Amino acid sequence: MGCPINCLCNPHGGSMNTATQRTKIIQCLSKGKWVSPLDALHQAGTMKLSTRVGELRAEGFLILDKWHESKEYKLYRMVKA
């Protein structure tokens, strides 16, 4: 089936390294919109959004979360200080 046109997944297979994922997650979150795990997969190439958010919070980033209306996953958004 393949990735969507705007997907930033590694085209050569395998996963991006953690630092690259974190950079792309920061870029996604800094736009001020709510980001879902599916958004993170397409825009940052990772299924580990909650893990990366936890790491970023530990570094001092202010990131809000809320449950999706389905209550099956959380959405995240970065707050500008």
Scanning 1-81, the segments in alpha helix (DSSP H) are 18-29, 37-44, 49-58
**Does this model's pTM top 0.85?**
no
Instruction: Let me know if residue 59 belongs to a domain.
Output: yes
CA distances from 39 to 10, 13, 25, 60 (A): 15, 19, 10, 23
Helix crossing, 18-29 with 37-44: angle to 10°?
120
User: Does residue 10 form part of some domain?
Assistant: no
- Rg of the chain in Å (alpha carbons): 13
Within-domain flag for 9 = no
Domain range for residue 32?
Answer: 18-78
- Residue 2 in domain: no
Q: pLDDT tens-digit profile of 18-75?
A: 888 899 999 999 999 999 999 999 999 999 999 999 999 999 999 999 999 999 999 9
Domain count for the chain, please give it: 1
Q: What CATH number is associated with residue 40?
A: 1.10.10
d(CA 65, CA 50): 10
